[in-house]
Structure formats: structure tokens, C-alpha cells
């Protein structure tokens, strides 16, 4: 298999590849080269995809969980077989280093595998009745057509994490992938078709104008569930649109993750955790460590060790050997990161490592460590989405928890400590949906992924992930 074997540039609706009157370019962020011209879907094509999904729903719902599981397992196997080519395609359109792309392909496939198994385990209940002559049952049924909008930073995993659960539950699916990275979503559709997913069950509508297509998915009466991963600002708009038809909704929104290092931490382990959490995908993940909070007594030692590691990074094209930091997704992303760093430095922060644009091109930014930062600076309250680690100091446990929680977001948090009492106090005190203790990576298909506060609604992955795609029906039998 080669990249060309899975490269598709038309929309995928009702089991067929569908061209469009307009096309839009997909650009390699590392070089600026145009990779492909992709069909530019409009509202009409999005509505056709929704209708196709609605038409396919009764038959897909009627299949046994075991039968749906078999199809999903074939899809999983095909994704894994195509790991090298999917990884190369991802690096070309998204920019992350090739090894990270391969890791994402396997991570993305893990959700198809997991939910293939869960398809057979959507259990209902028999409830003890409240009166003589009656019986109560609780059935679990698929919600119906699912509309999804997914981001560019994980162009495979953010689709499979949603589609795996939806399809396993018996729902049908329409996804609008990010305009910067539609090729991975279309490649998934090609592999889904080969796996035997029936026409209309999985549909992909790429577009360069996401708002109109997104509005179809959030307002169409045939769409019964909407799921979104992206910024909080956009999520609020989409959530308001979903209210028009009272859709079931899942939202995985922005984050501002604290990474706390206490004075009893293993500093070498904490530095490695910080590297894994902060600099993966050049800092472009929603669960990235956004604020390094380090206890004053170990602040300098931690910074010295972190800076030494960051100085070893190799920046470059993700296809090149040894590259650990690739480009940001586009020039504007690099402009935004540069503005945050300049604001911090102007307010008194110091760039211990990096601090500016790389000379490799307009989308590259140097991996950076900022010291002497304060909570009044924008880097404390803004999701950075770049390879920049601002390191703040705190004095005691209460201050660390207060600083960490001083944000409207509540997606992920990390901390390093060895005292058992402190571990429990801090974990319970942090207002975040996911907390990693002495580890810098927390994403896995077996655990519930999601946030509190303005970071979202619902959970993805784990046995809880399928629940967002299910309706509960109560049945009362009388006259017995």
C-alpha cells in the first residue's frame, strides 16, 4: 500500500465519492506546498449526507451488536495495516513528526477496536416493579444520526474516538473534518468502505467554509446528536445552534492545563513528564501542559533541567529523521504564539530557551521555556497552542491548587508529588475532568476523556463513551 492508495480528494456520501463545483487546497505546513485540491462541500451536500445517514440508520440499528462489532474490527485492522501510509499522510497535511503521526494512527485505531467490543455490551435493565402485576424494563437504543465537527491537531484520533462509539451504539455518522486536515478523514472513509461499512453509515463532508456546513449539522432535525472538539468560543456557538432542535450534545473544548511540581517530586521524572505533556505535537494539543507551576524551593533546579532537555530538541520537517518539533499548523498559529511570548517578555518574563520564530520558515517557532512569569500575564490565562512552557513559582500546596483552578477551563491537570496525603488532597482539590499524578500522558481509549467547567460536556473513550450515543427507554408492562 502507498499514500496514493488511500488518498481521496472528494467528499464521501452514501458510500460514494462525490465531487463538488468548488475545490480548496490542502497545504503542507512544513513547506507551504499544495498537497491536493479537495472537494469543497456546501450546505446542500451536507444535507444530502445527513439524509443518507438517516436512510441508513434503521438497518444499521437493527444489526446485532456482534455484527456491527465484526465490521468495526475489520476497519480497525485496515487502519493498523495502513499505519505507515496514514502516518505519512498525516505528517504531510498536519506537520507533526512522523513517529508522533504513527503513534496517533495506532491511538486512533484503538478507539475502533475498543468500541467494537463495547458494541456487544450495551446492556439494559430489569427493574423491580413498584406494584403488583407490573414489570419494568429499561432499554438502551442508539440516538440516531450523529453530526460531528473535528479539529486539525489530531485528524484521525478525533474522528475515530467519536465514530467508534457512535457506530458501535448503532448510530450513523456525518463528520466535517477540519479544513486544514481533511485528507486523513477521507482516508478513513476509504478504509471504512473496504471494511464493509454499509453506504450512508459513515459520511465525510470536507469544506473550506466550516460555518455553513456546521450549521447544517447543528440545526438539521434529522441529526439527533452533535459532537464537537475545538475551541470553547466556537463550541458555545455550536451549542447554541443545537438548542434549536434540542440535540444531545458532546463538547470537548479548550483547556488551560496546569502542570504542578511539588518540592517532594522526583524532579527528573517531572521534567520528562513535562516534556511529554508540553511539547508533543509542538504544543498543539488541548491537554498540553499550559502552565508549569513549580514550588519555589525547587524552581531553579527544575528550570535548569527542563531547559537542558528543551535545548536538545530538533526543529524541522516532520518527515526528516530525528525531528522532535515540527511546524505549527499555519502562519497565523505561529503569529499568535509569538504575540503571547512578546507580551510576557515585555511584562518582565525571560526566555531561558528559545523565545522567537525559527529561521526554517513562517510556521516554525522555537521550543521555548519562559521564567520570571506572573499570573497577570496572558500566558497564564490563554491556551498557548505552541511549544512554549511558562514556569510560574508558588510557595505552598494551597497556593498551587488556587493557581491551578484560577481558570474557566477544567480539562486536564498534571502534578508530581510523592507524599500520599498530598497526592489525594491535590487530586481532589483540582477542578479538572482528568488529573494525571506523576505522569505526563493521560490519553487512552480505556479511560473517560472530558472536562469540567467551560472545557466541555460528556466523555469520550472508555465504557462511558458509548453512553453519549444512547437513549434510555423505559418500558412499563401492566396487567400481568
Active site residues: 252, 286
CA separation for the pair 313, 448 (Å, rounded): 32
Q: b/e string for 413-433 if b means 16 or more Cβ within 10 A?
A: bbbbbeeeebbeebeeebbbb
| Beta carbons within 8 Å of 63's beta carbon, 6+ residues apart | 170
Read off the C-alpha cell for 175.
463528520
Nearest to 110 by CA among 448, 434, 444, 440: 444
- Please state whether beta strands 388-394 and 368-371 pair in parallel, antiparallel, or not at all (unpaired): parallel
CA separation for the pair 279, 297 (Å, rounded): 25
Structural contact between residues 254 and 236, judged by C-beta atoms closer than 8 angstroms? no
The SS3 of residue 365 is strand
Give how far Cα 369 sits from Cα of 70, 282, 390, 414, Å. 48, 13, 6, 18
Phi first, then psi: give them for residue 366, nearest 5 degrees: -65, 135
Structural contact between residues 366 and 389, judged by C-beta atoms closer than 8 angstroms? no
Give the DSSP H or E segment for 457: strand 456-457
Structural contact between residues 364 and 357, judged by C-beta atoms closer than 8 angstroms? yes
Maximum C-alpha span of the chain = 79
Per the listing, cell 445517514 goes with 53
Amino acid at each position: 500500500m502507498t499514500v496514493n492508495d488511500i488518498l481521496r480528494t472528494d467528499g464521501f456520501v452514501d458510500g460514494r465519492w462525490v465531487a463538488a463545483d468548488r475545490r480548496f487546497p490542502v497545504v503542507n505546513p512544513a513547506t507551504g506546498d499544495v498537497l491536493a485540491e479537495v472537494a469543497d462541500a456546501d450546505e446542500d451536500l451536507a444535507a444530502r449526507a445527513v439524509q443518507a445517514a438517516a436512510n441508513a440508520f434503521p438497518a444499521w440499528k437493527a444489526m446485532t451488536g456482534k455484527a456491527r462489532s465484526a465490521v468495526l474490527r475489520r476497519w480497525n485492522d485496515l487502519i493498523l495495516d495502513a499505519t505507515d501510509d496514514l502516518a505519512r499522510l498525516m505528517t504531510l497535511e498536519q506537520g507533526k513528526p512522523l513517529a508522533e503521526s504513527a503513534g496517533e494512527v495506532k491511538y486512533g485505531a484503538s478507539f475502533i477496536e475498543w468500541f467494537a467490543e463495547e458494541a456487544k455490551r450495551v446492556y439494559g435493565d430489569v427493574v423491580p416493579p413498584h406494584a403488583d402485576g407490573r414489570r419494568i424494563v429499561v432499554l438502551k437504543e442508539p440516538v440516531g444520526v450523529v453530526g460531528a465537527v473535528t479539529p486539525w491537531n489530531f485528524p484521525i484520533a478525533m474522528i475515530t474516538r467519536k465514530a467508534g462509539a457512535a457506530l458501535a451504539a448503532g448510530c450513523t455518522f456525518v463528520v466535517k473534518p477540519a479544513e486544514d486536515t481533511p485528507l486523513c478523514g477521507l482516508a478513513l472513509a476509504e478504509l471504512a468502505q473496504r471494511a464493509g461499512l454499509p453506504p450512508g453509515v459513515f459520511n465525510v463532508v470536507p469544506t473550506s467554509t466550516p460555518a455553513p456546513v456546521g450549521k447544517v449539522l447543528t440545526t438539521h432535525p434529522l441529526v439527533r446528536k452533535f459532537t464537537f472538539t475545538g475551541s470553547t468560543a466556537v463550541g458555545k456557538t455550536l451549542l447554541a445552534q443545537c438548542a434549536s432542535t434540542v440535540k444531545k450534545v458532546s463538547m470537548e473544548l479548550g483547556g488551560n492545563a496546569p502542570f504542578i511540581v511539588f518540592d517532594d517530586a522526583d524532579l527528573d521524572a517531572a521534567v520528562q513528564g513535562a516534556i511529554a505533556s508540553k511539547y508533543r505535537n509542538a504544543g498543539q494539543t488541548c491537554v498540553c501542559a499550559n502552565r508549569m507551576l513549580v514550588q519555589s524551593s525547587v524552581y531553579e533546579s527544575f528550570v535548569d533541567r527542563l531547559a537542558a532537555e528543551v535545548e536538545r530538541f530538533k526543529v524541522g520537517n516532520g518527515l526528516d529523521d530525528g525531528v522532535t518539533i515540527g511546524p505549527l499548523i499555519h502562519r497565523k498559529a505561529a503569529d499568535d504564539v509569538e504575540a503571547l511570548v512578546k507580551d510576557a517578555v515585555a511584562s518582565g518574563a525571560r526566555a531561558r530557551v528559545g523565545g522567537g520564530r525559527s529561521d526554517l520558515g513562517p510556521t516554525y517557532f522555537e521550543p521555548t521555556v519562559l521564567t520570571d512569569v506572573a499570573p497577570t500575564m496572558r500566558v497564564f490565562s490563554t491556551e498557548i497552542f505552541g511549544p512554549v512552557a511558562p514556569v510560574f513559582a508558588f510557595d505552598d500546596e494551597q497556593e498551587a491548587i488556587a493557581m491551578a483552578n484560577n481558570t474557566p477551563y477544567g480539562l486536564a491537570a498534571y502534578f508530581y508529588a510523592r507524599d500520599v496525603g498530598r497526592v489525594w488532597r491535590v487530586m481532589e482539590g483540582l477542578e479538572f475532568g482528568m488529573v494525571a499524578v506523576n505522569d505526563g500522558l493521560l490519553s487512552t481509549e480505556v479511560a473517560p476523556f472530558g472536562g469540567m467547567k467551560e472545557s466541555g460536556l460528556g466523555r469520550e473513550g472508555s465504557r462511558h463513551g458509548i453512553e453519549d450515543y444512547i437513549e434510555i427507554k423505559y418500558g412499563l408492562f401492566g396487567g400481568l
